[in-house]
Amino acid sequence: MIYYLYEILKEFNIPGIGMLQYISFRSGSAIILSLIITTAFGRKLIRYLQKLQIGEEVRDLGLEGQLQKKGTPTMGGIIILAAIIIPTILFANLSNIYIQLMLLTTVWLGLVGFMDDYIKVFKKNKKGLAGRFKILGQVSLGLMVVASLMISDEVLVRESVRSNSGEEVIETYSDPVTGKLQERVKTQEIKSTKTTIPFIKKNEFDYVWIVAFAGNHSEWLRWVVYALAVILIITAVSNAANLTDGLDGLATGTSAISGATLGILAYVSGNVIYANYLNIMYIPNAGELTVFIAAFIGATVGFLWYNSYPAQVFMGDTGSLALGGILAVFSVIIRKEILIPLLCGIFVIENLSVVMQVTWFKYTKRKYGEGRRIFLMSPIHHHFQKKGIPEAKIVTRFWIIGIILAVLTIVTLKIR
């Protein structure tokens, strides 16, 4: 909304009004507002949730200090969602297809998580929303995202024009400053299913390669493969974020770190100068996503004010499913989804620990008659709790690992 003030007021030559057109100014404003929303209104939400007696149902898993959390308000993810949506609506260009998709993701998975929390808290059903309905919500979102990326004329990438021999085509142009003829690589903006491969010099992978054997049918089949990949990514990351939300501040802090990294990647991918300098894929209009991710960072960091150990409120599935889905869809939009195992390494480790534990338990039970475990408890953060490591120390160490993985993710821009 404020973004459009510039278009209305620019003709009046009001001092300072030009700042509204800059992504950097609007991103800074978004992060400040989201921090204000979470910190200033978080206390009021906690009191309201306590008034409604919306407390966390805690099963005794034999973990130190676990039962002390009984009665801590849950569904705090509501404040995270508000702190993302409100600044985005105020400061972002709402006509941008990428912003629309991120708002859709936030609201859609927020509602799925809210229904799960509502059933657990108000209906007193510990199982919450049936797993198949969660999956249905995630799959539906994946289909909507892919359909939008496929249909919208705004979703393009810029790439070099190549001759039949595969060489880049060079064109001449008149320099607007000197008037002299200059040479440059000819480019074109096209609809593509290309994505980025880390650590590879010519680091672009096209999903159409998977179905190249289909000949003329490969053009539409690539979107089928792409849709399956996007659905898998959204489902895996959102569920992994949900699993990670087991210690005070763990999922929140990890999401903030990943969000900051994605913000850098979005900014350079949407800026033609930085994209050319770094020799990475330029995605027109993707820079606007920096405003959204700034609100995301402010919301997660601000929520830590109340969610860090000892937590005064839990985000619940309302927050965790949305946070994971946002990171997944954002990565897909800026063509960095293959970086997710590195970027969201903590989420991946948590998810894998559960898969390994369950798989090994079932295998040994079938083979030896009794189930055996790899970890003392899964997800893996509970394994370290069982070993007697204090919760706050586990969370801090996971954050440090997350920061290291974030730095490595950024480094992939240059190391190929």
Comparing 57-61, 142-146, 260-264, which segment has the lowest mean pLDDT? 57-61
Determine the pLDDT at residue 158: 83
Tell me which of 277, 309, 340 is where a domain ends.
340
Amino acid of residue 302:
G
Q: Is residue 143 located within the same domain as residue 284?
A: yes
Q: Is residue 162 located within the same domain as residue 125?
A: no
Q: Is residue 255 located within the same domain as residue 298?
A: yes
Please check whether residue 360 lies inside any domain of the structure. Answer: no
Of 180 and 24, more confident: 24
Average pLDDT of the chain is: 88
Preceding peptide of 87 cis, ω within 30°: no
Q: Is residue 184 located within the same domain as residue 100?
A: no
CB 269, CB 275: distance < 8 Å: yes
Residue 62: pLDDT band by 50, 70, 90 thresholds? low
Residue 22: pLDDT band by 50, 70, 90 thresholds? confident
List the one residue out of 319, 311, 312, 314 whose CA is nearest residue 43: 312
Comparing 120-124, 147-151, 362-366, which segment has the lowest mean pLDDT? 120-124
Q: Is residue 44 located within the same domain as residue 73?
A: yes
Determine the pLDDT at residue 67: 53
Q: Is residue 220 located within the same domain as residue 296?
A: yes
Residue 46: pLDDT band by 50, 70, 90 thresholds? confident
- Rounded mean pLDDT, 223-243: 95
Count of domains in the chain? Answer: 2
Q: Is residue 138 located within the same domain as residue 168?
A: no
**pLDDT tens for residues 362-371?**
999 998 888 8
Q: Is residue 163 located within the same domain as residue 282?
A: no
**pLDDT tens for residues 236-256?**
999 999 999 989 999 999 999
Determine the pLDDT at residue 239: 95
Comparing 150-159, 164-173, 277-286, which segment has the lowest mean pLDDT? 164-173
Residue 317: pLDDT band by 50, 70, 90 thresholds? very high
**pLDDT tens for residues 255-266?**
999 999 999 999
Tell me which of 340, 360, 388 is where a domain ends.
340
Q: In angstroms, how far is the first alpha carbon of the chain from the final one?
A: 41
Residue 48: pLDDT band by 50, 70, 90 thresholds? confident
Q: Is residue 146 located within the same domain as residue 228?
A: yes
| Lookup: tokens for 275 | 């994209």
Tell me which of 295, 320, 340 is where a domain ends.
340
- Rounded mean pLDDT, 52-69: 61
pTM over 0.75: yes
Structural domain range at position 178: 157-190
- Rounded mean pLDDT, 82-93: 95
Q: Is residue 176 located within the same domain as residue 309?
A: no
Determine the pLDDT at residue 165: 65
Determine the pLDDT at residue 50: 82
